[in-house]
Amino acid sequence: MTTQLKDKKGADTATLTYNGSSATLPIVRGTENETAIDIEKLRASTGLITLDPGYGSTGSCRSAITFIDGEKGILRYRGYPIEELAEKSNFLEVAWLLLHGELPTPAELQSFTSEITRHTMLHQDFDRFFDALPKDAHPMPVCSAAIGALTTFYQEPESEHQLHDTIIRLMAKMPTIAACSYKHSIGQPFMYPMNRLDYSSNFLRMMFGIPCEEYEVDPVLARVVDLLLILHADHEQNCSTSTVRMVGSSMANLYASIAAGISALWGSLHGGANQKVIEMLEQIEREEGSADKFLARAKDKNDTTRLMGFGHRVYKSYDPRAAILKKACGDVIERVGVSSRMLEIAMRLEEVALKDDYFVSRKLYPNVDFYSGVIYQAMNIPVNMFTVMFTMGRLPGWIAQWIEMRNDEHFRIARPRQIYVGSPKRAYVPASARGRSA
């Protein structure tokens, strides 16, 4: 089944003139009038390629899943504003929306939830998998390896029927794998999932419950986890999603593609930033607690310090997710009854930065990672699990984008070109003649 991702076909064209010749290229216009030059035939018609390190001006695909307007701070999943989904929906409903393009009927949601609930357990052999890993292993490579290992338990996840099972297994087992990677790191026994609990409550119980006593999930905190998962569920063609698409375009299976996406998300400039934000706030508190001093370093060209959780390739205004999380911080801290020095420092940093020309002129605002860590810490989620929380949230988005890529009528393996700037042709030099000339 191929999907026609229809852009607004218009008569618009762009003309490229180069070296005395010219090429007429079609203009593609999206639903919200974003405009692109379609260069698919550029090389064939001119011999030219384009060059765009980091792809800041390059679109990789047409997509109908998520829309972001970075200037206006707009984020919508399948057309629904993130603010409405955050307030009125729940994570599995949002996952269905991302995967299927429409909000589920009550019957569809009930069936989806029930299937996921019944697939949350891991094969018993996974106990040996975790045992093989060092106790102090960071949970992100553990999760990436575990997701990749699912391919060894469920062969050939590609067929139409199997793909449905693969999606259910990924959604169901991700929280279990995440909780097991945490329990393994603290030497506690794994907690089996409990089918009577909802998705987020089940995760909290597997994380913080112990076999020898009942664990009562705080429904307010479970709702906060659900909110965090919704806010992280998709974000169009970010680094990790592009990785999932790239790997999937080689016909690598969905487990392998998601495992690659988890590794990409771990980077400190991407999903790993939420862990770096808390480490930054703790450093500020340890050293001098002064936002001004830290910001001076973040602005210093000769200092690699960055204001983690600030700045974004697309958002040149406040990340709408950060605004929602900033409010949720207060709710969580009030609920758990702890004061949060981290929240105070974060809010002071934001206040000072948003009045500082360095940040204002570069349109650097808080992104999704700036406040999420404060919430996770208030909920006693360990710092090295913060990006795992991001992974759990982003999973349905990665899956939806992978499916859209595979069904795209324009589908082909992703294989960028390059401009070669290395040595010109030269003859082999025998070892005896290889003195290094001074």
Residues that bind ligand SDX (CB under 6 A): 54, 235, 238, 269-271, 273, 298, 306-314, 362, 364, 367-369
Residue 23 vs 94, nearer CB to ligand SDX: 94
Minimal distance in Å, beta carbon 366 to ligand SDX? Answer: 9
Query: At 327, which helix (H) or strand (E)?
Result: helix 320-336
Query: What are 130's strand-pairing partners?
Result: none
Residue 99 vs 277, nearer CB to ligand SDX: 277
Minimal distance in Å, beta carbon 296 to ligand SDX? Answer: 11
Rounded to an integer, what distance in angstroms lies between the CA atom of residue 341 and that of residue 339?
Answer: 6
Rounded to an integer, what distance in angstroms lies between the CA atom of residue 267 and that of residue 262?
Answer: 9
Rounded to an integer, what distance in angstroms lies between the CA atom of residue 377 and that of residue 33?
Answer: 40
Minimal distance in Å, beta carbon 273 to ligand SDX? Answer: 3
Phi and psi, residue 34, nearest 5°: -65, 145
Residue from 368, 394, 115 nearest 230 by CA = 394
Q: Are 254 and 167 in contact (CB under 8 A)?
A: yes
Minimal distance in Å, beta carbon 350 to ligand SDX? Answer: 12
Catalytic residues: 312, 369
Residue 148 vs 311, nearer CB to ligand SDX: 311
Residue 229 vs 364, nearer CB to ligand SDX: 364
Minimal distance in Å, beta carbon 370 to ligand SDX? Answer: 7
**Measuring CA to CA, how many Å separate 408 from each of 25, 311, 378, 401?**
21, 32, 42, 10
- Residue-by-residue DSSP string for 241-291: HHHHHHHHTTT--HHHHHHHHHHHHTSTTTTTHHHHHHHHHHHHHHHT--H
Residue 214 vs 357, nearer CB to ligand SDX: 357
Residue 316 vs 335, nearer CB to ligand SDX: 316
Residue 140 vs 217, nearer CB to ligand SDX: 140
Minimal distance in Å, beta carbon 311 to ligand SDX? Answer: 2
Ranked by CB distance to ligand SDX, the top (closest) residue is 311
Three-state secondary structure of 64-86: CCEEEECCCCEEEECCEEHHHHH
Minimal distance in Å, beta carbon 409 to ligand SDX? Answer: 26
Residue 175 vs 271, nearer CB to ligand SDX: 271
**Measuring CA to CA, how many Å separate 326 from each of 152, 187, 295?**
41, 33, 20
Residue from 256, 252, 352, 370 nearest 311 by CA = 370
Amino acid at 19: N
Q: Are 246 and 414 in contact (CB under 8 A)?
A: yes
Q: Are 234 and 212 in contact (CB under 8 A)?
A: no
Minimal distance in Å, beta carbon 390 to ligand SDX? Answer: 8
Minimal distance in Å, beta carbon 3 to ligand SDX? Answer: 23
DSSP 19: T
Residue 56 vs 424, nearer CB to ligand SDX: 56
Cβ atoms < 10 Å from Cβ of 86: 21
What is the edge-to-edge ordering of all strands in the sheet holding 74-77? 66-69, 74-77, 80-81
Report CA 304 to chain centroid distance, whole Å: 24
Task: Please identify which residue in the block is written with the tokens 């990785």.
Answer: 243
Rounded to an integer, what distance in angstroms lies between the CA atom of residue 298 and that of residue 306?
Answer: 5
User: 232 by DSSP, 3-state: which?
Assistant: coil
Q: Are 203 and 182 in contact (CB under 8 A)?
A: no
